[in-house]
């Protein structure tokens, strides 16, 4: 995302471009992992407040802009959020829609909508609560308190924290590591982990079992298991 003067405030145009680019990359079988990043000063400082202020409840409902965000949930390719600086409001919700977050030590996460007289509207009350638990989610959402990268790591909101000059490289490295695995198993594993947030335990475990059988039916699984036995690196083909 590259709207630095507005700290990557998520205007309708920017979100449309983000969702469109993610869907395009997802449709390309050669792409095995995606990194979504902003600038050094901000991943994104939230929905564009000027647009929100100018819109009406009916225009928000009619243009279905927030619904567009749901398309990110449907991506099959893993998305790594590379977060440096402000990651607030809709920006934090966007990062939480990604599969994992790699954060610079400068990152600041928050849901400050309460200061504007509104509340998170793109999943923040639900995803933040699932990520960090009720007490901290209530604290952040009701007071607007921001947390730093280390605190976010301790709470399980982010996967890794790195030095400020390394945030993008590390996110790309993690994405590269994922991209080197068998893509069928990666996609099924991502779907199975997502089930943990959507389904009761018994349904999620059943989903995982079927995903496991499906992955085992792939040529990549045969290659991976054989390569281990033959003490050589696997050569995954995505079949
Ligand atoms: N929207 C529009 N412009 C913004 C936003 C934003 N969210 N955040 C920053 N900007 C602009 C500022 O207006 C300023 O512009 P200008 O230079 O023209 O005055 C520029 O970016 C730089 O910002 P600051 O001068 O304020 O920089 P500071 O370093 O002093 O402060 C902060 C940085 C703390 C990030 C501060 O800018 C701030 O508080 N921003 C707002 C954060 C916020 O409240 N975010 C939540 C927005 S509401 C939301 O996200 C609801 C999501 C619901 C989903 C809706 C989907 C459509």
90 is catalytic: yes
- Residue of 188, 237, 195 whose CA lies nearest to 212: 188
Phi, psi for 44 (deg, rounded to 5): -170, 135
Query: In the predicted model, is pLDDT for residue 7 greater than 90?
Result: yes
Secondary element (H or E) of residue 179? helix 167-179
Q: Is the CB of 122 under 6 A from ligand 1?
A: yes
8 Å CB contact between 83 and 103: yes
Q: How far apart are CA 75 and CA 238, in angstroms?
A: 17
Q: What is the pLDDT of residues 192-220, one digit of tens each?
A: 999 999 999 999 999 999 999 999 999 99
Q: How confident is the model at residue 182 (pLDDT cuts 50, 70, 90)?
A: very high
Atom of ligand 1 nearest to the CA of 42: 35
Report residue 40's pLDDT band, with 50, 70 and 90 as the boundaries.
Answer: very high
Round to whole Å and give the CA distance between 175 and 78.
Answer: 8
Average pLDDT over residues 9-27: 96
Q: Judge if the beta carbon of residue 90 lies within 6 A of ligand 1.
A: yes
Helix, strand, or coil (residue 116): helix
| pLDDT > 90? residue 137 | yes
Distance CA 172, CA 84 (A): 14
Q: Which element (helix H / strand E) includes 128? A: helix 124-132
Specify which residues 34 forms β-bridges with.
79
Cα–ligand 1 centroid distance for 70 (angstroms): 23
Residue 66 has pLDDT above 90, yes or no: no
- Nearest atom, ligand 1, residue 7 CA: 21
Percent of the chain, pLDDT > 90? 93
Angle between helices 124-132 and 134-143 (to 10 degrees): 140
Prediction pTM value = 0.96
**Closest alpha carbon to 123 in 92, 163, 159:** 92
């Amino acid at each position: 995302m590259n709207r630095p003067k507005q700290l990557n405030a998520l205007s309708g145009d920017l979100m449309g471009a983000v969702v469109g680019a993610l869907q395009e990359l997802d449709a390309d079988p050669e792409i095995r992992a995606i990194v979504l990043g902003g600038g050094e000063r901000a991943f994104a400082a939230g929905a564009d407040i000027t647009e929100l202020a100018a819109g009406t409840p009916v225009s928000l409902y009619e243009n279905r802009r927030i619904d567009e965000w749901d398309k990110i949930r449907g991506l099959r390719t893993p998305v790594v959020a590379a977060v440096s600086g402000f990651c607030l409001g809709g920006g934090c919700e966007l990062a939480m829609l990604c599969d994992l977050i790699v954060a610079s030590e400068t990152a600041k996460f928050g849901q400050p909508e309460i200061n504007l007289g509104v509340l998170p509207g793109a999943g923040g009350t639900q995803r933040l609560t699932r990520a960090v638990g009720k007490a901290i989610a209530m604290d952040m959402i009701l007071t607007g308190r921001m947390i730093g990268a280390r605190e976010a790591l301790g709470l399980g909101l982010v996967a890794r924290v790195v030095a400020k000059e390394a945030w993008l490289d590390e996110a790309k490295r993690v994405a590269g590591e994922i991209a080197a695995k068998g893509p069928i198993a990666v996609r099924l594993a991502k779907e199975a982990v997502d089930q943990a947030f959507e389904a009761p335990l018994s349904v999620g475990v059943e989903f995982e079992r079927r995903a496991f059988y499906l992955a085992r039916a792939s040529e990549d699984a045969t290659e991976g298991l054989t390569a281990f036995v033959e003490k050589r690196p696997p050569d995954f083909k995505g079949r």
